[in-house]
Structures are given as C-alpha cells and as structure tokens.
C-alpha cells in the first residue's frame, strides 16, 4: 500500500518533466521523510505488553534474549533450511523491483513520472497478489500458487532481458547506450512492473502462510529468520547491482527463483506426508493431533546433531 500511495504522490509531483528540479527534490524528501518519522514515532509510542512464558506465571516477562535464542535454533533446523531458497529469492527480488528496475526505467525513458508509474504498478501487483493468491490457495494449494508465481517472475525477467539494453542498470551516461533485443516500450515496461509485484507477492504470501502453519506455536522466531535472510540478501544484491550488467542480474534472479520453488516443493511433499498442509476434517482432526505434534517437534530438530 505504501508503494501505491508514495508513488502516486511522486507521479503528480514530477509531472511531465524530464529532469527533477531541486525544489521538487526537496519537497519529495520533506514529505516522504516526514511520513517516515511519523511512522517510526507511532511504533515507539506503542504500549509495551509483556510476553508471558508458556505454562508459567502469566505476569512473568520473557527474557529479551529468548527470541534471539529461539531464532538461532529455528535457523539451523532442517525444514527451515528448505525454505532458505525462497527467502533468498525474495531478498534478491526486493532489491530488483525496489531499486534496479526503477533505475532501468529512468535510464531508458526520459519522462520522470514514468518512474512513479512503474512504482504504482509494482505496488498494485503486490496489493492485488494478496487477494488473488489467497483465493487461488484454496483451489490449487500453496505449491500451485508458488509454481504460478515462479512462472510470473520468470516471464517478467525474460521480458526485461528482451526489452532493455544490457547496460540499462549500470550506465553512467544520461541514457543507456546499448541496443535491446526488442524495442523498449513504456507500456510493456509497466506491464512487467505489474508482473514483478504480482510474482514477488505470490512468494511472500506463500512464505507467510507456510511459516504460520508449520510454526504456529512459535511464529515470531520463524518470521525473524525469514526477515533476517531476506534483509541480508537484499543488501548483498544492492552492493553488486550498480556494477553487474543486467543480463547477469536477471540470470541470478532466475536461478534463485527456480531453486527456491524446487526446495519449497520438497518441503511441501514432506509436510503432505504428515497431513500438515491440508485442512483436516473435524472427524479426523483429533485422530491426527498426535502425529501433528510429533511432526512439529521434528521441525525444530537441528541440521547437525552433535554428540553430548
């Protein structure tokens, strides 16, 4: 939603200009910076609620180090490792749609409001993905949603490869100097922006649902591992994106996308054997509760067992 609102503001602020004036730049920084500070203050002013310890005194506050310990324990579990591929891709994808693709648009098309339009379409794709993929989950399951998201992402990467020159993300000139395979077109570029948001949203929706399902008794450490890995990879991608030619960046994204999908399908197969992904009918839910508890305990087993 922030991508929609923020880029809509940018679209009207930039107008039809081909350069960003100092006054426009200052206005943009002041407005967006003000919203950022307001959001930060709203979090700081939230009431601090104690986290009760399970099966203990509800008034006793959990140690602040306990979530970190839980996160480290979850990070080395075998089933969490199968999700690392999807985590890594979401980090690389986050950097690509939030920074690289916007730079590509700016280096190919002269009008600055095209940058905002691309951001709006990316935000629209992510917002709509929450509804579209959630509905499709009930029809084709999580693995079906992830497969569709993989196809959408790979389609977007292929179109970027075809429609933009190889130096579009790294050029130091006012405009990219390379020649694309097919002529660059703003309408195709905006369609790709929509696909990027839709595909990335599909991966995130699937990851959120999976973590909430498999680690429903302790979701916070599981989500902490996800965000940590995603943040590390987004940072790493940001460091190389200014020097690596566009085709190689797209190759890395494509490999990460397919690899993340494959490892997720392996986890899905393992969980399907324990009837963890399917909604259990009332008549069989109690009969399977013991197996579900056993499987949840297996999820937290470390990858490497050490002798005492």
Over residues 115-166, the pLDDT tens digits come to 888 889 998 988 888 888 888 888 888 888 999 999 999 999 999 999 998 8
Out of 61-65, 93-97, 295-299, give the one with best mean pLDDT: 93-97
Residues 6 or more apart in contact with residue 265 via CB below 8 angstroms: 143, 146
Give the model's pLDDT for residue 308.
42
The average pLDDT across 239-258 equals: 93
The average pLDDT across 82-99 equals: 92
Q: What is the pTM of this model?
A: 0.79
| pLDDT > 90? residue 31 | no
| pLDDT > 80? residue 230 | yes
Give the model's pLDDT for residue 76.
76
**Residue 197: pLDDT band with limits 50, 70, 90:** very high
pLDDT digit string, tens, across residues 282-307: 333 333 444 444 544 555 555 444 44
**What does residue 215 show for φ and ψ, rounded to 5 degrees?**
-120, 50
The average pLDDT across 102-111 equals: 86
* Summary mean pLDDT of the chain: 79
Nearest to 97 by CA among 213, 215, 196, 210: 196
Give the model's pLDDT for residue 303.
46
């Amino acid at each position: 939603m922030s991508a929609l609102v923020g880029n809509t503001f940018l679209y009207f602020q930039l107008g039809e200009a081909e350069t960003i004036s100092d006054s426009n730049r200052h206005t943009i920084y002041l407005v967006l910076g003000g919203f950022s500070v307001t959001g930060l203050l709203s979090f700081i002013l939230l009431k601090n609620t104690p986290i009760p310890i399970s099966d203990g005194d509800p008034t006793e506050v959990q140690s602040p180090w306990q979530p970190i310990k839980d996160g480290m324990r979850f990070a080395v579990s075998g089933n969490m490792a199968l999700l690392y591929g999807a985590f890594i891709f979401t980090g690389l994808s986050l950097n690509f749609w939030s920074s690289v693709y916007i730079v590509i648009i700016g280096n190919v098309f002269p009008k600055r409001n095209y940058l905002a339009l691309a951001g709006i379409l990316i935000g629209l794709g992510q917002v709509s993905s929450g509804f579209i993929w959630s509905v499709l989950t009930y029809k084709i399951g999580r693995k079906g949603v992830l497969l569709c998201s993989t196809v959408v992402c790979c389609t977007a990467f292929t179109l970027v490869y075809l429609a933009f020159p190889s130096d579009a993300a790294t050029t130091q000139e006012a405009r990219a100097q390379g020649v694309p395979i097919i002529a660059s077109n703003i309408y195709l570029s905006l369609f790709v922006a929509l696909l990027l948001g839709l595909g990335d949203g599909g991966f995130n929706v699937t990851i959120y649902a999976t973590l909430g399902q498999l680690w429903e008794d302790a979701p916070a450490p599981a989500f902490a591992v996800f965000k940590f890995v995603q943040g590390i990879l987004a940072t790493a991608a940001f460091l190389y994106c200014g020097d690596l030619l566009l085709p190689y960046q797209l190759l890395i994204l494509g490999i990460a996308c397919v690899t993340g999908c494959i490892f997720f399908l392996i986890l899905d197969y393992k969980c399907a054997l324990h009837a963890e992904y399917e909604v259990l009918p009332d008549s069989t839910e109690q009969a399977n509760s013991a197996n579900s508890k056993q499987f949840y305990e297996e999820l937290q087993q470390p990858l490497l067992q050490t002798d005492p």
